Amino acid sequence: MANTPVVRKETEIIAQDANVLDMSMFAADAGVGNKEVDQDSLSIPFLKTNLTKQIRALHKGSSEGDVINTVTNGIYNGENGFKVIPCAYQRRFIQWSPQGDDNTAPIAIYTTKEDCPQTERSKEDNKEYLTDGSGQYIEDTHQHFVLVLNDDGSTDVGMIAMKSTSLKKSKKWNSIIAGRKMTSTDGNVFSPPRFAHVYHLWTYLEEKSGYSWYNWEMKLEGQVTQKAHYDEAKLFALSVEKGDVKVKHEQEGGTSSAPADTNISDDKIPF
């Protein structure tokens, strides 16, 4: 007996197609559910090195010198490094309460050194302590806002706070960026935007006076080649400059100035 062809009813086709999601549906509902999510509801990820033993224990396979994204908890291999587009830079002077105090939020944040209260550098730990005897101190902090280019093609925004033993590296990076020049089609030489080039970042072990810690290193990788990356980096840079990106600093244990407290075997990592 000949096989009888199966005839699908139109209603069955519609029912099956109704279970299929495509990009146009996401685009049509863009932004729904996020109406009241503003900058105060978001956290800018910090990219931190010198991970404590506790953090490394939570990320099996991670090791000393790796870098963590404090929002996604993603780990970047410190030795191999990763690629970023620097988007914006800020220098801030952050006033902290004494170490061990219950308050881990900044007392105040200043945009210039002239705005800061009077301080005196301690010979014991190199911190800039207020002269009022309160035990509070001020940390010179260089904030590098970056777009991370992941190996899978995705991107992440983040901020690297360079201070203490990393300040020289921060100045080096700024000098490399400031030294870039381009020539326009009419022959004029100009300084490109900060987000015009990709850089390779990694960490390396520094040692001094019997103590060791991981510091940053960087090199120019090349010009940005993908327009999507350029547009995203530009948008992030403009958001930082307009003050739309809020950085929520939190005090860390240990001292951030003297190499004497930067031994990576200690849980009180300063960076």
pLDDT of residue 192: 95
Give me the helices (H) in 59-180, please: 167-178
pLDDT of residue 21: 65
pLDDT of residue 30: 62
Which residues, including other chains, have CB under 8 Å from residue 81's CB and lie 6 or more apart? 200, 201, 202, 203
CA distance linking residue 253 with residue 100, whole number of Å: 8
Handedness of CA 52, 58, 64, 69 (dihedral sign): negative
Which residues, including other chains, have CB under 8 Å from residue 146's CB and lie 6 or more apart? 47, 84, 85, 86, 87, 157, 158, 159, 160
Task: Provide the β-strand partners of residue 182.
Answer: 190
CA distance linking residue 214 with residue 206, whole number of Å: 6
More confident residue, 118 or 17: 118
Task: List strand residue ranges (DSSP E) for 52-167, in order.
Answer: 67-69, 75-76, 82-96, 108-110, 119-121, 128-130, 137-149, 155-163
pLDDT of residue 43: 66
Residues 193-246: tens digit of each pLDDT = 999 999 999 999 998 877 788 999 999 999 999 999 999 999 999 999 999 898
> Is the model's pLDDT at 167 over the cut of 60?
yes
Percent of the chain having pLDDT more than 90? 57
pLDDT of residue 270: 39
Once rounded to an integer, what is the mean pLDDT over residues 178-205?
A: 95
The pLDDT mean for the chain works out to: 82
Residue 33 binned pLDDT confidence (cut-offs 50, 70, 90): low
Residue 269 binned pLDDT confidence (cut-offs 50, 70, 90): very low
> Is the model's pLDDT at 14 over the cut of 80?
no
